[in-house]
Structure 1
């Protein structure tokens, strides 16, 4: 499951979820000038078959302008620490997997 975490999500979360969500990358780790701009994250995700995981509604706007791929998962989990976000991802793993393989869906909001 290729997830690309936006810069607004802590890079520390990768260590917590990497066994269940293999092939996760953080925006800080992609080969672009850092800090990565949203459009650069978008283009990398599109070219490399990643789903973007973010707190940022700007990716929803990009999705509406450019269409999928990539797909976008928006975390609407305000005021949660990294461990709590990881626990939410674990609890929603089946939904996330189903979303990624469904060719008709473009965006998923997780609360």
Structure 2
């Protein structure tokens, strides 16, 4: 089964790893959207939200999926550093996201929550 993802506006738009039909950028759906609209869209279309916004991580902890949430808590980093980190861990993150409703990515570790 191929999983689908919704990338929040606070993450890079041009990122080769996420440049395929399984990934849609929020900006391509609506240039400006409230978090509640993004949540509803992801829930209705069974997409996992990829974000740096802690509001989505907080909300999924008290809600059943869908959607699921992948939350980056890496702070500011260069595009090169971000790409390097994500390229190294992305398969593990996807695997964890298939089991857990929240996956949190830090610079030095990954945590998953149900």
Distance (whole Å) between structure 2 residues aligned to residue 110 and residue 36 of structure 1:
24
1:29-48 to structure 2, matched below 5 A, reads 29-30=28-29, 32=30, 34-48=31-45
Structure-1 residue corresponding to 2:111: none
Task: Extract unaligned runs of 5+ from structure 2.
Answer: 107-114
Match of 2:102 among 81, 86, 107: 107
Task: Name the SS for the 1:109 alignment partner.
Answer: strand
| RCO higher in structure (CA 8 A, sep ≥6) | 1
TM-score normalised by length of structure 1: 0.80
Distance (whole Å) between structure 2 residues aligned to residue 18 and residue 9 of structure 1:
11
Distance (whole Å) between structure 1 residues aligned to residue 94 and residue 24 of structure 2:
17
Q: Deviation above 6 Å: which 4+ runs of structure 1?
A: none
Q: Give the root-mean-square deviation of aligned CA atoms.
A: 1.9
1:82, distance to aligned residue in structure 2 (A) = 2.9
TM-score normalised by length of structure 2: 0.78
1:2-41 to structure 2, matched below 5 A, reads 2-13=4-15, 16-18=16-18, 23-30=22-29, 32=30, 34-41=31-38
Q: Is the 8 A contact 1:51 1:73 kept in 2?
A: yes
Aligned length: 104
| Greater fraction strand | 2
